[in-house]
């Protein structure tokens, strides 16, 4: 069963890390057709030249959505990890997909990601050295109907990964792992 697993969340909320972690877990469960479309990688390959205006952000998301749905409708799991700050754009991608679309909200608070500031970007954004920075000087519209919500400001990567896998099981998109009995006679 193929599907689109669409992460959304602030910069530094752990989308790419979780995309890789879920990817690894799915491969261990036997999923062989799978691609992670990471935000940065996609900007290199299909969105070079696009900036961070409202229109360019929209174009970027629709391009990722296009690639993801080509993959998913041919039996490949597509995991995306772009900020995708606008509800309208996410919903447009959702509506265009014929394969199941699973939105995962990496719901770390602005305080949490700015405190961590892994790439040092928030410091620059708050200082005004980077403009159009999501959550600081550009909007982030949190999803109200995400299929899965993980609080990456609090949970460990392993905890969030497990939550996502259980969510996919509950949606019937992956099988639950077989119970392994350790107590054998």
1, 17, 20, 34: residue in contact with its own copies (rule CB under 8 A): 34
Using rule CB under 8 A, residue 123 touches its own copies = no
Strand order in the sheet with 4-9: 34-38, 77-81, 4-9, 101-106, 148-150
64-93 mask for its own copies (x: CB under 8 A)?
--xx--xx--xxx-----------------
Q: For residues 54 and 166, which CB has a smaller minimum distance to its own copies in the complex?
A: 54
Separation CA 4–CA 6 (nearest Å): 6
Q: What is the DSSP letter of 91?
A: H
Contact 107, 9 (CB under 8 A): yes
Selected range binding its own copies among 28-36, 107-115, 118-126, 131-139, rule: CB under 8 A = 28-36
Whole-number CA gyration radius for the chain? 17
Contact 106, 152 (CB under 8 A): yes
Using rule CB under 8 A, residue 45 touches its own copies = yes
Reading the block at residue 159, the tokens are 């905890």
Known catalytic residue at 160:
no
Separation CA 56–CA 171 (nearest Å): 33
Shortest distance, CB of residue 179 to its own copies, whole angstroms? 30
Using rule CB under 8 A, residue 51 touches its own copies = no
Reading the block at residue 162, the tokens are 């497990």
Q: Which of 11, 16, 21, 84 is catalytic?
A: 84
Shortest distance, CB of residue 77 to its own copies, whole angstroms? 9
Q: What positions carry a catalytic annotation?
A: 84
Contacts with its own copies, residue ranges (CB under 8 A): 33-35, 45-46, 48-49, 59, 62-63, 66-67, 70-71, 74-76
């Amino acid at each position: 069963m193929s599907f689109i697993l669409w992460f959304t969340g602030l910069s530094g909320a752990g989308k790419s890390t979780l995309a890789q972690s879920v990817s690894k877990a799915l491969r261990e469960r036997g999923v062989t057709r799978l691609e992670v479309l990471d935000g940065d990688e996609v900007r290199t390959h299909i969105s070079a030249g696009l900036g961070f205006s409202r229109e360019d952000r929209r174009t970027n998301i629709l391009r990722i959505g296009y690639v993801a749905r080509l993959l998913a409708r041919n039996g490949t799991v597509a995991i995306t990890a772009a900020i995708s700050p606008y509800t309208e754009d996410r919903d447009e991608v959702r509506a265009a997909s014929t394969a199941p679309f699973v939105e995962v909200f990496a719901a770390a608070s602005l305080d949490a990601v700015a405190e961590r500031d892994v790439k040092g970007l928030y410091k620059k954004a708050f200082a005004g050295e980077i403009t159009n920075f999501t959550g600081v000087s550009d909007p982030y519209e949190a999803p109200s109907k995400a299929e899965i919500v993980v609080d990456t400001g609090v949970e460990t990567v392993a905890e969030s990964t497990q939550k996502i896998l259980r969510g996919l099981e509950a949606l019937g998109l992956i099988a639950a792992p077989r119970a392994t009995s350790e107590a054998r006679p």
